[in-house]
Structure 1
Amino acid sequence: MSYGYGAPGGYGGPPSQPSYGQPPQGGYPGGYQGAPQSGGYPPPQPGYGGYPNVDPQIMAWFQAVDADRSGQISAHELRSALTNSNYSHFNEEACRLMIGMFDKDGSGTINLNEFQQLWTYMNQWKGTFERIDANRSGSIESHELCAAFNEMGYRVSPQFAQLVCTRYDYQGRRALTLDLFIQACVLMKMLTESFKQRDSSMAGTVQLSYEDFMCLTMWNKP
């Protein structure tokens, strides 16, 4: 089994440097319900201590999303805060996968430090989506998706991008909204990291047992 690498020495993914900036008009990403206004961050809440290296803006976003003030964010809380350009909420699976990227203890939630890491990925993926969506339609088609993957360092074919669009476009439009694009990006990241662990020589080719192959593909569940 082989996989086309991205830039030399890497398998693709968001740039390593965060790009926080200010939340765009209308929210983040694509629309955020109830976000704090610039310069008016809410005061720290119980359970938020012990995070000296967290950006204050991200602290404010985290507090706005953490509806139950538990100091943890669930997929449900994340979904209630994120919308696409058409004001539809992100789909549940995309939010579950985003939480799962950093949910190390299997609790189904992430803390503030983990949210800061997730913020970096969301910020970069949203930036890629907006650059590729040249006509500002709020969705990208397969040829645009192929360009996006290649921009992130994944060398994939147009046929692969078409397959992804078909697989994740639940509405049959052959185009991905921001949440579906991020969902595909999360799975690309997870599968690539799993493949990379098995590719010790960085050759782009590995030998897989039947069970190993099934474990990889189970990430790509309906």
Structure 2
Amino acid sequence: MSYSGHNPSPSAPPAPESHHPAGNYSYQPPPPSQQPNYAYNYGGGGQYGFPPAPVFPPWTHPEVIRSFQMVDSDRSGFIDAKELQQALSNGYQKFSIRTIRLLMFQFRNPSDPFRTGPKEFAELWGCLGQWRAIFERFDRDRSGKIDAAELRDALYSLGYAVPPSVLQLLISKYDDHSERRVELSFDSFVECGMIVRGLTTKFMEKDTRYTGSATLTYETFMTMVIPFLAAE
């Protein structure tokens, strides 16, 4: 597998207009002097026993914050897998819990890997915005699904040149053994993309010279792969 140097995940994510329109993700943050403080207050900002207000990146779009606030039922400033699934369903579409776990693993909260904080949520939302635009670009017949060739091209546009053998393994996961060709929804596309993205990132940590090969111990290999299998 080859890979390019660019990072497919923006650090200053926009929210999609309405739910998930096909196209405009060009939200630009205002100058620092004009950036509003969108960090919402849960009734005390840490005073009088209330938890402190969660801190988002200063340019986070208000829609992203509202989506987080709607599902943070205990007002802790963190959301679990079920709450994340609900938040993304409000903004994009229904995601499987399998995809949600992969997203949480990719955008880990360093203090609590089982919950997502505001910073991780904003980054995750922005990544999905870019991937949604890529998905719609390669969904040429506007069916809401892409086939194997379109998946290959979509992943390549994100910087991942997936070998045919690996692509076939990814696609086979969704083969129901009918006579119809295998097609992936946006949920399945994100799941495949997170697997490719995550394993590529882990491999690149060992392939420091970007040669396309690396020497791994058995333990290192297992710790790289098992988190992606555990998400199943």
TM-score, L = length of structure 2:
0.74
**CA-to-partner distance for each residue in 1:167-210, whole Å, 9 max, x for gaps?**
2x275662221112112222222211111111122211112223
- In 1, the alpha carbon distance for the partners of 2:223 and 2:57 equals 38
- In 2, the alpha carbon distance for the partners of 1:23 and 1:206 equals 39
- In 1, the alpha carbon distance for the partners of 2:191 and 2:213 equals 25
Gaps of 5+ in 2: 23-37, 44-51
Of 83, 89, 97, the residue aligned with 1:92 is 97
Of 122, 127, 134, the residue aligned with 1:116 is 122
Of 133, 142, 146, the residue aligned with 1:136 is 142
Gaps of 5+ in 1: 31-40
DSSP 3-state at the match of 2:184 = strand
Per the TM alignment, residue 91 of structure 1 is displaced from its structure 2 partner at its CA by: 0.5
* Matches for 1:26-41 after TM superposition, within 5 Å: 27-28=19-20
Of 108, 111, 126, the residue aligned with 1:105 is 111
Of 190, 194, 205, the residue aligned with 1:182 is 190
CA gap 1:133/1:24 in 2 versus in 1, 3 angstroms? farther
1:23 is aligned to 2:23: no
- In 1, the alpha carbon distance for the partners of 2:57 and 2:219 equals 43
CA gap 1:217/1:139 in 2 versus in 1, 3 angstroms? same
Instruction: Please name the residue that 2:203 is paired with.
Output: 195
**CA-to-partner distance for each residue in 1:63-83, whole Å, 9 max, x for gaps?**
123233321121101212334
CA contact (8 A) 1:143 1:161 kept: no
Instruction: Please name the residue that 1:14 is paired with.
Output: 8
Per the TM alignment, residue 48 of structure 1 is displaced from its structure 2 partner at its CA by: 2.5
- In 2, the alpha carbon distance for the partners of 1:129 and 1:201 equals 31
CA gap 1:29/1:160 in 2 versus in 1, 3 angstroms? farther
The structure with more radius of gyration: 2
Instruction: Please name the residue that 2:226 is paired with.
Output: 218
TM-score, L = length of structure 1:
0.77
1:5 is aligned to 2:11: no
Alignment-mate amino acid for residue 97 of structure 1: L
CA contact (8 A) 1:14 1:152 kept: yes
CA contact (8 A) 1:54 1:116 kept: no
Instruction: Please name the residue that 1:38 is paired with.
Output: none
Total equivalences in the alignment: 202
Identity %: 31
DSSP 3-state at the match of 1:179 = helix
CA contact (8 A) 2:104 2:113 kept: no
- In 1, the alpha carbon distance for the partners of 2:172 and 2:159 equals 22
1:67 is aligned to 2:54: no
Higher relative contact order (CA 8 A, sep 6+): 1
Per the TM alignment, residue 51 of structure 1 is displaced from its structure 2 partner at its CA by: 4.1
Runs of 4+ in 1 over 6 A off after TM superposition: none
- In 2, the alpha carbon distance for the partners of 1:170 and 1:70 equals 41
